[in-house]
Amino acid sequence: MSAAEVARRVVARLLAQGLEHLVVAPGSRSGGLALAAAAAESAGRARLSVRLDERDAGFFAVGAARAGGAPVAVVTTSGTAVGNLLPAVMEAAHAGVPLVLVTADRPLVDHESGANQTTRQSGIFARFVRGEATLPDTADAAAVDHHVTRLVALAAGTRTSQPGPVQLNLALAMPLFEDGPLDPPELAARMVSGAGQPAPVELPLGKATVIVAGDGPPAVGAAAAELAAVTGWPLLAEPTSNARHSAAAVGAYRLLLGAGAGAEIERVVVLGRPTLSRPVSALLARPDVELVVVTGAAEWSDPGHRASVVASGVVAEADPAALGEQWRAWDREWQERRGEAVDPGSGIALADALWRGLPAGARLVVGSSNPIRDLDLAGRREGALAAYANRGLAGIDGVVATAAGVAASEGAGLGTHLVVGDLSLLHSSGGLWLNPHEGRPRLRIWLFDDDGGSIFHGLEQGADAYAAHFERVFGTPHGADLLGLAASLGWAARTAEPEEVAAMAATPVSGPELVRIPLGRADRRAEARRLADLAADVLG
């Protein structure tokens, strides 16, 4: 097969196996793949998104795959283009996000010869991919069909229950283009069935139990909320667990744990991937606590190495000795008294106003560092929303592109919101580029701008002993005009006052908007002390 034929066959087989969305970064060696994807979109058989750089394309695909719940393909040219996918691949690997990386390569005969733009692309992602294949420039249709089918199944976790990224590396020889049809042929799907799931485990009563819901898709959040509703157990739910709207959810759980509220806990049931707080990590590592991990994947999260039960599902009856009402009473008092510790213009207060103000059914993407931790102290909201974050590795890079990918997968809905800090926005500013050929995303960015790394104020390096060097190596004030940057790229950009946030959150998202809310960060360490003191006082 020629390079053009291979490209068309690869795209055809991807579509046949159920992929609907292809993300392309421009390049020469991958040109045939890009043309085949564009022709498929023109024929109404696929969706194509084009991003200027590969790092941005990778995170865009992460967002689209997270929100869409299905594998998304990313197409790149050869050389450093492939290497720029690594951060997104690492995030997808740890978060279980299904990506199919289609990387164009030079002919194998050119390898190790110093040929232009030729490097070791095969195996470049090492253990971060669930599977990989390199097809030589002599590959035939049967080989293409087999490897694409196999890799799509691995990406989706169809047989393994462990979705994630995969790589198809294509050695393509000249000529890359030829006269003839661009449309990929229509192929019949090859069926790959699942391996099945065992029956749920029944949990006996008699142990003081809490439910910890970490980062996870809406289906996982719904399972956590249902278990809490049936049993009466307290639900300690992170913002992106998609369980925070439950009546059983405890908003200030991490502060209550830190103040000693967890002493009576004998069993923890974990759903999703909890990553946000040290008090939760300490709870999950306690040797006196039975740890039950619920996951549909082949692997599970257990950083403390304490899990005694790993199950695809659990069932339990209503627990007459459940701790839920006590924990919710503590939480209600904390929420009523939060003004004693939280300034009305702080990030925590603004995150709470935004969390409560967003309409039910909206989509929310949350940046790492302080934004997601501020949201983690928000109270219970009325009505569910779909919440996402890059918590696989909790990096601050790529979050704007991830949110753009989430917005692109929405279709007709209420719009997508991104809560992000200023350093995260600078890290992923390439995601602000708006492709004029693909419409304007209905994405509103809430920029909590405190001109630097405020999270470090609350960590060990924020102590007075390190004050002489803090701003230089941790605070990193930048003074950048982020409103001007966004406006120059076509975003409707404005500054808002803290008291405007709640009302603005309820307004429809009609296009790309950036709302900057200036914050201070000098009081972060003192605020953390006030929060801890208030939680201790609530517990009495």
Domain range enclosing 266: 201-334
- 184, 40 contact by CB (below 8 A): yes
**The pLDDT of residue 412:** 67
Q: Specify if 180 maps to a domain.
A: no
153 shares a domain with 238: no
Bridge partners of 291, per DSSP, are 268, 307
114 shares a domain with 82: yes
- Residue 137: alpha-carbon gap to chain centroid: 35
Give the domain CATH number at 216. Answer: 3.40.50.1220
In 272-328 the beta strands, taken as DSSP E runs, fall at 290-294, 307-311, 314-315
**The pLDDT of residue 84:** 96
Report the domain count for the chain: 3
CA-CA distance, 540 to 20, in Å (whole number)? 55
Give the domain CATH number at 48. Answer: 3.40.50.970
360 shares a domain with 327: no
30 shares a domain with 163: yes
507 shares a domain with 433: yes
Q: Specify if 446 maps to a domain.
A: yes
Instruction: Work out the percent of the chain whose per-residue pLDDT is above 70.
Output: 100
Record the tokens describing residue 409, joined without a space. Answer: 């997968």
CA-CA distance, 436 to 459, in Å (whole number)? 42
Among the candidates 121, 150, 171, a domain finishes at 171
132 shares a domain with 22: yes
Record the tokens describing residue 463, joined without a space. Answer: 């102590």
Per-residue pLDDT tens digits for 492-509: 999 999 899 999 999 999
Per-residue pLDDT tens digits for 318-373: 999 999 999 999 999 999 999 999 998 999 999 999 999 999 999 999 999 999 99
Per-residue pLDDT tens digits for 33-87: 999 999 999 999 999 999 999 999 999 999 999 999 999 999 999 999 999 999 9
Given a cut of 90, whether residue 141 has pLDDT beyond it is: yes
Tell me the angle at which helices 3-16 and 31-42 cross, rounded to the nearest 10 degrees. 50
Per-residue pLDDT tens digits for 398-455: 999 999 999 998 876 789 999 999 999 999 999 999 999 998 999 999 999 999 998 8
- 398, 62 contact by CB (below 8 A): yes
- Measuring CA to CA, which residue among 265, 293, 297 is closest to residue 279? 265
Q: Specify if 61 maps to a domain.
A: yes
Q: Specify if 266 maps to a domain.
A: yes
**The pLDDT of residue 520:** 87
Per-residue pLDDT tens digits for 459-483: 899 899 999 998 999 999 999 999 9
Q: Specify if 277 maps to a domain.
A: yes
Given a cut of 80, whether residue 264 has pLDDT beyond it is: yes
Spell out the alpha helix ranges (H) of 489-523: 501-505
Q: Specify if 530 maps to a domain.
A: no
307 shares a domain with 246: yes
**Mean pLDDT value of segment 16-40:** 96
Among the candidates 279, 307, 334, a domain finishes at 334
Given a cut of 80, whether residue 247 has pLDDT beyond it is: yes
127 shares a domain with 233: no
20 shares a domain with 143: yes
479 shares a domain with 367: yes
**The pLDDT of residue 7:** 96
Among the candidates 278, 312, 334, a domain finishes at 334
Q: Specify if 209 maps to a domain.
A: yes
149 shares a domain with 20: yes
- Residue 213: alpha-carbon gap to chain centroid: 15
- Hey, is 396 helix, strand or coil? coil
Q: Specify if 133 maps to a domain.
A: yes
With b for 16 or more beta-carbon neighbours within 10 A and e for fewer, the 310-321 pattern comes to: ebeebebeebee
241 shares a domain with 153: no
pTM for this structure? 0.93
Instruction: Work out the percent of the chain whose per-residue pLDDT is above 90.
Output: 85
